[in-house]
Amino acid sequence: MKSIQVPLQQLDPELPLPRYAHDDDAGADLVTAEDFTLAPGERRMVPTGMAVAIPTGWVGLVHPRSGLAARHGVSIVNAPGTVDSGYRGELKVLLINTDPTQPVSFTRGDRIAQMVFQEVARAHFVPVDRLPETSRGAGGFGSSGLSSTPDHYAQQR
């Protein structure tokens, strides 16, 4: 696995650093700096008490935790959140409680999200009159259907 150094400023020094729960995990867990409760349907910008300097050419993606999603319906509004390498402000997590009836409470230090680091490419956009042809063409938004044996697969069999 590639490894990068990420300078981290602890705006709230008593909180733990982000950690990988297991050696091969893709995401390092982020914690909340605050106690809060999300009412059903409520969203909130949650501070993490830290700022980072992600290396140029990389991005930090703020992903939901599946356990919170499965148990409480808690997700991230803008999933995955994009943390630009030039961003020096406090990392925040835009949580939402999608449960229609149950509130959910968090305590300072609880792990609320996970950050995945990825390399990014810079696109240079080149205006053209025609795009190269493909089998998909302009089909999208469900064009290949739901069934596991659609005609769509016929040519590959």
> 119 near 58, Cβ under 8 Å?
yes
Distance CA 83, CA 92 (A): 9
DSSP 156: G
Q: Which of residues 33-62 bind ligand DUT (CB under 6 A)?
A: 62
**Interaction between residue 84 and ligand DUT (CB under 6 A):** yes
The residue within the footprint of ligand DUT, chosen from 9, 66, 78, 107 (CB under 6 A), is 78
Give whichever of 31 and 62 is closer to ligand DUT, judged by the CB atom: 62
Name the one range near ligand DUT by CB under 6 A: 19-27, 79-87, 132-140, 149-157. 79-87
Classify strands 50-52 and 104-106 as parallel, antiparallel or unpaired: unpaired
Strands laid side by side in the 74-76 sheet:
43-47, 92-97, 74-76
Letter for the amino acid at 44? R
**Number of residues binding to ligand DUT, judged by CB under 6 A:** 11
The DSSP element (H or E) to which 68 belongs, if any, is helix 66-72
CB of 129 to ligand DUT, least distance (A): 31
Among 30, 52, 81, 114, binds ligand DUT (CB under 6 A): 81
Chain contacts with ligand DUT (rule: CB under 6 A)? 62, 78, 81-84, 87, 91-94
